[in-house]
Copies of this chain bind each other. A is one copy, B any other.
Amino acid sequence: MSTAVLHCLPSGAADARRLAERLGLPLQDIAIHRFPDGEIRVTVGSAAPASIIYASLDRPNDKLIAILFAAEALRREGAKRLVLVAPYLCYMRQDAAFHPGEAISQRTVGRLLAATVDRVVTVDAHLHRTADIEAVFPGIEADNLSAMPAIAGALAGIDSATIVAGPDAESRPWVSDLATRLGLACAVGRKIRRGDRSVEIDFAGQPAVAGRPVLLVDDIVSSGGTLTTCARTLTEAGAATIDAVITHALFPPEMTGEFARAGIRSVRSTSSVAHPTNAIPLDAVLAAALRRELT
């Protein structure tokens, strides 16, 4: 028996398989049986001393419960160390009570996972007000990997006139990292809220995009509103072409039509969340962080 095994939830099987191959690890499915009454039964394969669970946490509630069950079974079957690989980490955006009585779900999920596994490995976690990923997971190891090396690799040979653009200050880290890696100029917008539901994005003071190809970058696209608004602004500003690249594609696939109408020629995402726009595998990035588990 190997000293380490990769276990995966059904939803991540294809990505987990690539990762297991790269690491030379056996891959075992975590089987989930759904009863008609809404309960689930979780069955794991044989545990190794180091058991790595691959479970990206989009549509997270069912998966969180499945991870708790899988961890219980793996510990009982002999796992001494549990590592959760969650390329997309859920609930990171609710990191404060924005209104009275609101749950700070980031905190709850952080504590829950910290009580369940010994290490969490994630990618481009959306940590807005939280200093770093270790603060989310009290008492355990946690790694917030960057997808930017993988994204930059996939964009090798990009037109050197391209401007890397992000919609708002929150996107700046990804935008400036990627622009530096690709040796390109960058432009970061500013969100201006006009009333409750109307947002504009302003690129005043940023490098002009007129006549140039634009690569629009963000970490998460969920409702798609920010990406659409930003693309309209860039189109109006005369961008020659707009292509988008994102780490976590949470939006409904049918939204690509709306993106196209806003002037976006293509959307590419990493394999973090299984999605029709997936074009950039993360297995090399994840494997590098997991190699030390294989001793």
Q: Mark A residues whose CB is within 8 Å of B.
A: 35-46, 58-62, 64-65, 68-70, 72-73, 76-77, 90-91, 94, 97, 99, 101-105, 107-108, 112, 115, 222-223, 250-252
Most buried by B among A69, A104, A251: A69
Shortest Cβ gap from A243 to chain B (Å): 23
Give the residues in chain B near A72, CB-CB below 8 Å.
Answer: 103-105, 107-108
User: Is there an interface contact between B65 and A103, defined as CB atoms closer than 8 Å?
Assistant: no
Shortest Cβ gap from A180 to chain B (Å): 30
Give the residues in chain B near A90, CB-CB below 8 Å.
Answer: 39
User: Is there an interface contact between A42 and B73, defined as CB atoms closer than 8 Å?
Assistant: no
Give the residues in chain B near A46, CB-CB below 8 Å.
Answer: 101
Shortest Cβ gap from A173 to chain B (Å): 22
Bound-complex Cα distance A99 to B43 (A): 8
Chain B residue with the shortest CB-CB distance to A115? B115
Shortest Cβ gap from A91 to chain B (Å): 6
Q: Can you list 8 pairs linking A and B with CB atoms under 8 Å apart?
A: A37-B58, A43-B99, A45-B101, A62-B62, A69-B105, A70-B103, A72-B108, A73-B97
Bound-complex Cα distance A41 to B105 (A): 8
User: Is there an interface contact between B250 and A37, defined as CB atoms closer than 8 Å?
Assistant: yes
Chain B residue with the shortest CB-CB distance to A46? B101
User: Is there an interface contact between B38 and A108, defined as CB atoms closer than 8 Å?
Assistant: no
Of B38, B76, B108, the residue contacting A59 (CB under 8 A) is B38
User: Is there an interface contact between B73 and A41, defined as CB atoms closer than 8 Å?
Assistant: no
User: Is there an interface contact between A101 and B73, defined as CB atoms closer than 8 Å?
Assistant: yes
Give the residues in chain B near A68, CB-CB below 8 Å.
Answer: 108, 112
User: Is there an interface contact between A40 and B58, defined as CB atoms closer than 8 Å?
Assistant: no
Bound-complex Cα distance A91 to B108 (A): 22
Bound-complex Cα distance A70 to B102 (A): 8
Give the residues in chain B near A64, CB-CB below 8 Å.
Answer: 61, 65
Give the residues in chain B near A251, CB-CB below 8 Å.
Answer: 37
Shortest Cβ gap from A53 to chain B (Å): 12
Shortest Cβ gap from A134 to chain B (Å): 20
Give 6 A-B pairs besides A39-B90, A64-B65, A77-B101 with Cβ atoms closer than 8 angstroms: A36-B223, A37-B58, A38-B59, A45-B101, A61-B62, A72-B107
Give the residues in chain B near A103, CB-CB below 8 Å.
Answer: 41-44, 69-70, 72-73
- Contact of A102 with B42 at beta-carbon distance under 8 Å, contacts A61-B65, A65-B65, A72-B108 already known: yes
Shortest Cβ gap from A54 to chain B (Å): 17
Give the residues in chain B near A76, CB-CB below 8 Å.
Answer: 97, 104
Of B37, B42, B60, B65, the residue contacting A38 (CB under 8 A) is B60
